[in-house]
Every structure is written in C-alpha cells, then in structure tokens.
Amino acid sequence: MNNSIIIGNWKMNTTLADAVVLATGIKKGTENVDGVEIVLCPPSVWLVPVQEALGKSFNKKIALGAQNIFWEDEGAYTGEISPKMIKNICKYAIIGHSERRRYLFEDNIIVNKKVHGALLNNLTAVLCIGEHNKLTDEKKGRGRPTKKDKFNNIFYQLEKSLLGITKKMMQNVIIAYEPIWAIGTGKPATGIYAVKMIFMIRERIAKIYDWKTASSVKILYGGSVTSDNILEFTGQPEINGVLAGGASLKAKEFVKMCQLAAK
C-alpha cells in the first residue's frame, strides 16, 4: 500500500472566513509533512475559496474532496451538485456517510448510483459504511440479513453499494469504515476492533471480486479520531488512513494528526 490518506470532513461547519483561515493554517502546518496524502472536504460552497487559499499546495500536497454529490451530471435537480460540476476541483467525493443515510434517508440504491456517478467523472469515491452497534462474534457468521438487520449490516451495505462496479473501477474506490456508535461520541473503536472489522471487509471484497482486488483497496477508519489516538489506527498495516470529522476543524490538531501519521 502507498502512503496513508488523512481526510478531513468539515461537515456543515465554517463560514467563508473560517474556511479560508482553516485551509491556510493546514497548508502552512503541513508544508514539511511528507508520507501522507491530505484531503480536505469543506462545504461545497467553499470549495473554490479553499482551492484558492491552498494555492500551490492544491493537488500537490493537499487534495480537495466533496462531502456529497448527486448521481446525474445535470438536469432538473434543484439544489444538487453533480460530479461533473466539481470534477475539475475535487479529486475525491465522500459517498454514503452515515449522517446522510440517517437524516436524508439515503439507501444503498442511492449510494450505488452516486458511486457510479463519481467514477464516471474520474472522481475517487470514498464509500462510507458502518454499523450502529458493535458486531459480536455471534453475529459474524450470520447469513443473509433480515429486513431488520439490513440497515445495520455493513457487509450488506458494501455489497449493494458496489453493484455494477467492476474490478477495474475498484481502483478508484476507497472504503471508509465508520462505526456509527463511535462518530462524534468521543469513544472511538479500539485499534484491535477496527482491524478485525476491516479485515472482514477485505474478506467480503475478496468474495465479491478476488483477493488481489481486496488487498489493493484502501480502507480507512473514521469515528472520533484525534491526534491522541490516530497512531492506534494508522500504525496498523491493515488500516490505510483515517476520515476525521471534528478534529479536522482545528488546524493545529489536524496538522498534528498528519504529522503523526507521516511518521
């Protein structure tokens, strides 16, 4: 695997001034940081100002990602942002985040359409999957999930979200494993638990495709990641980086995370 990927998801935060200051702070703080790929995902309205604030760092040391996209390139979809609109600005697009699944009722069919839309526009899809409750050993061997289980079953999410995605297309897919019970709670998964789950995700990818594809897919951990615990995840060879939320809104904290991951 190549360098770790550190993605900062700013979610619905920052004013224009805040976004520029935050991006500038991260840019300055990571000038001498090598060995990680840094991705910032500001609100869509700030993508261009953040790109301008990054200047020469844009696409060299720091890439941009969209927090969401629509699945069509254009049309009568008021308020939506298409992958075609942002493909010359962004390299990545977060798709299927648990908050969109929960509050905006995005199901696996919608998520799958968005993955296809991203890939058709040469964007790397950061596909988020995660369970509401910790997966116990008893549940590990369960077969076809019941209707009640489907929303919570990460393997069902994975399979349905990747329908029609070929092995070649998987080269531009990153999986972000984000246990929902850890997001924003200040109680992250342990490194051991995250590794166990990510290995099981790779097993499922291998079942869908093959082990060569599974071993080449980058899988990130997300959920209450900070500079205090990032090495518990990036220090594991099975984990290829992190998707950070709240910690990415503080320039010094996010820079420290990048520095630690680089070491």
**Mind listing the pLDDT tens digit for each residue in 220-242?**
999 999 999 999 999 999 999 99
CA of 227: how far to CAs of 30, 82, 98, 240, in Å?
15, 34, 23, 16
Residues annotated as catalytic are: 97, 178
Q: Which residues contact 115 (CB under 8 A, 6 or more apart)?
A: 95, 96, 125, 127, 161, 162, 165, 173
Specify the pLDDT at position 182.
87
| Assigned CATH class of 4-262 | alpha beta
Q: Is 24 exposed, middle or buried (0-12, 13-18, 19+ CB in 10 A)?
A: middle
pLDDT tens digits, 104-121: 999 999 999 999 999 999
Specify the pLDDT at position 138.
42
The encoded tokens of residue 214 equal 């599974």
pLDDT tens digits, 147-190: 555 556 899 999 999 999 999 999 999 999 999 988 888 888 99
Annotate 103-142 with b (16+ C-beta within 10 A) or e (fewer). Answer: eeebebebbbbbbbbbbebebbbbbbbbbeeebeeeeeee
Q: Residue 244 in 3-state DSSP?
A: strand
Specify the pLDDT at position 226.
96
- Give the residue with greater pLDDT, 138 vs 171: 171
DSSP H helices, the chain, are 16-29, 47-54, 83-86, 98-103, 108-120, 137-140, 147-150, 154-161, 191-208, 211-216, 230-234, 251-262
Sign of the dihedral through C-alpha 119, 127, 150, 215 = positive
pLDDT tens digits, 21-73: 999 999 999 999 999 999 999 999 999 999 999 998 877 889 999 999 999 99
Radius of gyration, alpha carbons of the chain: 17
Contact 57/97 with Cβ under 8 angstroms?
no
* Domain extent listing, the chain: 4-262
Q: Is 250 exposed, middle or buried (0-12, 13-18, 19+ CB in 10 A)?
A: middle
Specify the pLDDT at position 149.
57
The encoded tokens of residue 217 equal 């897919």
Specify the pLDDT at position 212.
97
Beta strand 36-41 with 62-66 is parallel
pTM exceeding 0.75 = yes
Judge whether residue 137 has pLDDT over 60. no
